[in-house]
Structure 1
């Protein structure tokens, strides 16, 4: 049987890189679609790339013509894409380019905040809204069976900006008791790469992914601090301080910072032990990383030891 040909957009990111490497390890021929083909791909050195089934090509998800050209050149039938912010048509022209160039199945990196009736999500709920619009465009162009939406929870890597504050000895947190699942980006990529190379399990078209355990923001910081050998003071930030942290320290646009503040402020659903920042999640979905890849999800402790040792 001929090797499955796949194309991965954004392979220089942690998720895209892991998706590409996983698909190749499962026998797929992988085209690495990049804005800058000279950039380093995490986990893929020159020797591994030369000896593996990889090919680089230039493409930009915000430029449909380059997407069409890259897919046509690769001969790929399966594609991994992520949200390209700022496209006025919510990536519809890019998705049309994928379809016209011969892609049969798209694996889209979405968000766990996308729930319920996608058309009912309000634009003010910016994270679920923009991801939902792309999912709706995928359904319109590829049909319900032509894409898989991978919806991960809160990324462990979102905690990296806290490193400096931990080292300085004081960390301010907005809603310290809010729970996080801290899924590791490489685990998300492993699932995406598996779907690219082998298809979805049980014909699932939506795959929720979470880390193996839930912990509060304050407990998450304690775990990160232990990896750094620190014991910082933790204080609760007020809304103004939270807004400043999001906009000035993390570079978020105001509408996104306001969404994050509102979302974190939401109370946990009554009677729900399983929730992330006030959003109920399904306990069984916390095992989806292992279900799809055959390997358990990386713990926050393991991620912190590696991330802070190399950062």
Structure 2
């Protein structure tokens, strides 16, 4: 996949250098051939290269006239090459991409309560597509220029930068974000990202990726709320599919919106109007599956008269219409 340049004027570097060298060639030539001063030689060189048509500084010898012809040829050649490169840049949308990036950065600056995905590799790409299917706002932080075209094709918000950099995380709106997904393929980088994200936003929910089982503990200590091992998760999913295929199929349909019923979670935040209300009062027509108490106790199949407390997490099963009034904004 070809990388796109984020600097539309980058391809004009060589023509610019050629113009400088041609100018030096012209000044040196007039000084040596015509024995002119530096100012007169520079003046004549500029006249030849710009073709403005003013009178020459002094009469030219035959050798000087032939030299001027060569200088004019170089100037016309550089002009034609520069013009064609600018046309290519415009046709490929280089200037338009800069405008798009500027607008994208402005949109990212308005995001709040959004998700940040660090890296757009296989894991990060899958996570981003799941977030897109859920229609939640998110932004990807990716260091590799060669993935720009893919992210543009996927029509996602992204910034090109190092996820371990505080500046990149701030550009992605880490202070206003709801959650961060560390999907970099380096365990050390994921640990550092978790540390940086936690220091910049103490309340953010962090999900980390650990390729090495020993890295999971380090990620938790760095501030990750959940740690996923792609290899372990794949093995567990394969075993579950072999043991309970119909249950797994239904959960897959539920996750992708293909089933009539969905499983959702409802967080009881401190000071929420849900605090002190009974499970049956909150659930309505949905089915309460479990309540995870703040202190860690799990109440499966809770009774309807169970009162919710600050920090509780209620798991619900219901159709989309029944769940919508319970979901946050």
Indicate the TM-score class for this superposition, using the shorter chain for normalisation. 0.3 to 0.5
TM-score of the pair, normalised by structure 2: 0.35
- TM superposition score normalised by structure 1: 0.37
Q: Which structure's relative contact order is higher, taking Cα pairs within 8 Å and 6+ residues apart?
A: 1
